[in-house]
Amino acid sequence: MIITDHKRIMPHYFLKLNPSRPTFARDMTAEERAIMMQHVTYWSDLMNKGMVIVFGPVMDPKEVYGVGVVEVETEEQLKELIENDPATGINRYEYYPMRAVVPVK
């Protein structure tokens, strides 16, 4: 967490959820689809708690993948969120620190 002018600025991270195969979005099995629905519920709950700014699929013609921007206090907290995501077992995350410009709360 960064403090400037007596304001707390929470670190932001950009997340990319890479599918297990290029065709994943088109040919998910019933089990994979159920896991992805749990994934959407999981991140929606975190959004409702104010930890997620935005998330969703990117419809890249080469390969659909997921993105998200989260606001957490530490990288360890981010890693915990990723570990608890039901989709972590079937897809792979990468993440990067971000200097997000967001509305003043």
Which structural domain, as residue segments, surrounds residue 50? 2-98
Handedness of CA 34, 35, 39, 41 (dihedral sign): positive
Instruction: Provide the domain count of the chain.
Output: 1
> What integer pLDDT is reported at residue 26 of this predicted model?
94
Half-sphere exposure of 33 (CA within 13 A, CB side): 6
CATH number at residue 12: 3.30.70.1060
Task: Tell whether 104 is covered by a domain.
Answer: no
- Residue 105 falls within a domain, yes or no? no
What tokens appear for 76 in the block? Answer: 């360890």
Render pLDDT for 51-73 as a digit per residue (tens, 0 to 9). 999 999 999 999 999 999 999 99
Residue 91 forms part of a structural domain:
yes
- The pTM of this model reads 0.86
pLDDT digits (tens, 9 = 90+) for 3-50: 444 445 679 999 999 999 999 999 999 999 999 999 999 999 999 999
